[in-house]
Chains A and B, each alone.
Chain A
Amino acid sequence: MTTLQTVFAKAKADNRAALVGYLPAGFPSKDGAIAAAAALVEAGCDVIEIGLPYSDPLMDGPTIQDAVHRSLTNGTRIADVMRTVEGVAATGAATLVMTYWNPIDKYGADRFARDLANAGGVGTITPDLTPEESEPWRAASAAAGIDTVFLVAPSSTEQRIKAVVDCCTGFVYAASLMGVTGARESVNVAAEGLVERTKAHTDLPVCVGLGVGTGAQAAEVAAYADGVIVGSAFIRRILDAPDEAAGLESVATLARDMARGVRR
């Protein structure tokens, strides 16, 4: 199994940033999600985040909301998320689950961590789980041997950054901007400062997400971050494609562009 440690160590040895791709499970279909993630890996993504579709995604912009809505309409369940993780992990990419807290809470923290580890998952990203509320999840994850990634934001004080990174293993997710997910015209200039402030508190890799949509933007972020996270831009390609095959093709093209970006 490829761990986050090996991914970031290898990227560092290659003198480049890692490329992290996000796709929700069950979108555009249950098998289509695995195929799309495999295409991302094939095109050069080092890490895949599989989104667990949730009914109330209050941190997500219209693109991910749309994809998640379709996934839930497709009847995606947590078992499907685990199956997706299994399929993606088999490609050799380090595979995480990104989810709002309530589905884990309801499923049972210990059970979720165990099932994810058994599926070959290496950890989770939980954007609405604050350090104050994270203890049960960190304990369950440690017991199952998976990583816990939390977010810092441009608005985070030094004290908050410290509290968040102390809860992280694997890497730290730096939200580039104040806002919801979605590709933007340009990557917020605040991101670089946030990475710098975060690195003052941790030796963990720091990855930047929110708003990265092109290879050029990936290159720009790769100059100061250990990883570049791309989600909405990939999903947009699939949403705009006339069918699943065309979507795969389009997403792979963008991923290759991004992969060149992080190697520039």
Chain B
Amino acid sequence: MANEGTILTAADLAGNGARGDDPDVHGKFGIFGGRYVPEALIPALDEVAAVYEKAKNDAEFLREFDHLLRTYAGRPTTLTDVPRFSERAGGARIVLKREDLTHTGAHKINNVLGQALLTKRLGKKRVIAETGAGQHGVATATAAALLGLECVIYMGAVDCERQALNVARMKLLGATVVPVTNGSQTLKDAINEAFRDWVTNVDTTHYLFGTVAGPHPFPEIVRDFARIIGVEARRQMLELTGKLPDAVCAAVGGGSNAIGVFHAFIGDQDVALHGYEAAGHGLESGEHALTLTAGSVGVLHGSRTYVLQDDEGQTIESHSISAGLDYPGVGPEHAWLKDSGRATYHGVTDDEAMAAFSLLARTEGIIPAIESSHALAGALELGRELGPAATILVNLSGRGDKDMGTAMKYFNL
């Protein structure tokens, strides 16, 4: 039931269970997901799930979302062939999905516009969000300005410093930015603080969760709103190359851009799905964010998934040069894709990511986000493995403007 003249259909937004890869009624992807939250939040989560269930089958909601995606976010985003960059990948053909060209500069805007429309349907006037790189915070502040919602963003104090530009953007957009000074002062602590706000103000407030982690229904909703990335890219790859890619690559923090680009390809068994986590200073250093690669199954932020934790279940602080990947948890659907073998996850170090960051800038004139640079570094290696006949789709989840401070320090610019 495609809406005439729109880019988005109900089937694009979600498979409505038809693909057999939606979570069950308790939000479980196999053993992963579910809800581990204070009872006080259950009614709010139920309400969000119910309102979303209705909205995703409502032509008017799809029309509004579609309209915003096209006329505000700038969808569909293009594919770009990067032949000079590809030379360094053993000649494999690398194609970028350009989420960096969306309004606000990252894939986060897709989910945010969807959830901001849901907020209206929930009858709530205030949104809160956590942010790591600041991209989700900027996107949320943007949507709040657009729709006239009050907006409070929780951000780890360490992240406020390394993504100072995004803090300024959020403030300019009218949001209140609250630096979080407890724990590791990064994304995980910002999420804790946002949950504390939510349980206190749940009558008036929607928690506009920024990735495919957290309690049910967030992993499903955020995935569905990010799913457009892969839906477009699949169509575009067929147009551009006449076939599906051999592999799809994406960076994995919480996992939203990765699930967004992977999801439309899950049924295509010949398309390999590769996720790249931040290996920071390397696995042996202990300073990394290798949740899927080196973590173990546990519960964090309301969901059963892979977690970086010690032998007694205390969360281990993660490390990455990229704030958006600096998270010791990951979305439950990725945990499920890993265990089922459908997707493969790898680590990319800070140095490898920064090399790819600089290479794309110099060979193609595109400055990627450091998060996305992890996927680029992964694709370089994968290309050398697969050889020149291979075609690799990389989700360029965001642009690097926000990372100039880090780049100046790293490269002594």
Contact = CB atoms under 8 A, between A and B. Distances in A.
Contacts of B313: 54, 102-107
B309 interface: yes
A28 to B, nearest CB: 19
B192 A58 contact: yes
B315 A155 contact: no
Contacts, number: 114
A56 B300 contact: yes
Interface in B1-49: 26, 34-44
Given A128-B37, A155-B44, A160-B42, A103 B199 contact: no
B194 to A, nearest CB: 9
A152 B38 CA distance: 9
Given A58-B301, A61-B196, A132-B34, A103 B39 contact: no
A157 B43 CA distance: 8
A105 B298 contact: yes
Interface centre among B34, B35, B199, B301 (most CB of A within 10 A): B199
Interface string B50-66: 00000000000000000
Nearest to A126: B36
Contacts of B309: 102, 106
A135 to B, nearest CB: 12
How large, as a class, is the contact surface on chain B? Answer: 35 or more
B199 A178 contact: yes
A126 to B, nearest CB: 9
Interface centre among B36, B192, B203, B296 (most CB of A within 10 A): B36
B188 A175 contact: no
Contact of A102 (B35, B188, B299): B299
A160 B42 CA distance: 9
A128 B192 contact: no
A101 B37 CA distance: 10
Interface string A44-76: 000000000011111111000100010010000
B42 A156 contact: yes
A71 to B, nearest CB: 11
B36 A130 contact: yes
A57 B37 CA distance: 11
Given A155-B44, A180-B199, A133 B36 contact: yes
A43 interface: no
A179 interface: yes
A132 B26 contact: yes
Contacts of A156: 39-40, 42-43
B37 A130 contact: yes
Nearest to B314: A55
Nearest to A156: B39
Contact of A154 (B36, B40, B300): B40
- A-side interface mostly: loop
A183 to B, nearest CB: 15
A28 B196 CA distance: 24
A12 to B, nearest CB: 26
A104 B34 CA distance: 17
A106 B311 contact: yes
Contact of A107 (B199, B200, B312): B312
Nearest to A61: B196
A101 B36 contact: yes
B283 interface: no
Contacts of A130: 34-37, 39, 42
Contacts of B301: 56, 58
B174 interface: no
Nearest to A62: B182
Contacts of A133: 26, 34-36
Contacts of A101: 36, 299
Nearest to B296: A106
A150 interface: yes
Contact of A72 (B34, B189, B192, B314): B314
A61 B309 CA distance: 23
Interface string A110-139: 000000000000000001111011000000
B195 interface: yes
B74 interface: no
B202 interface: yes
Contacts of B191: 58
Nearest to A151: B39
Interface string A182-195: 00000000000000
Interface string B171-212: 000000000001100001101100110011011000000000
Contacts of B90: none
A237 interface: no
Contact of A77 (B203, B296, B312): B312
Contacts of B311: 106
B302 interface: yes
B38 A128 contact: yes
A179 B200 contact: yes
Nearest to A164: B39
A153 interface: yes
B182 A59 contact: no
A164 B196 CA distance: 22
Given A56-B315, A102-B307, A180-B200, 15 more contacts: A55-B183, A78-B312, A102-B36, A102-B300, A103-B314, A106-B309, A127-B38, A127-B39, A130-B42, A133-B35, A151-B39, A155-B202, A156-B43, A178-B200, A179-B199
22 contacts: A55-B315, A58-B195, A58-B196, A58-B301, A59-B195, A60-B196, A101-B36, A102-B309, A103-B313, A128-B38, A128-B299, A129-B36, A130-B34, A132-B26, A132-B35, A133-B36, A151-B40, A153-B39, A156-B42, A178-B200, A179-B196, A179-B199
Interface of A: 54-61, 65, 69, 72, 77-78, 101-107, 127-130, 132-133, 150-157, 160, 164, 175, 178-180
CB-CB nearest 3 A-B residue pairs: A106-B313, A153-B40, A103-B313
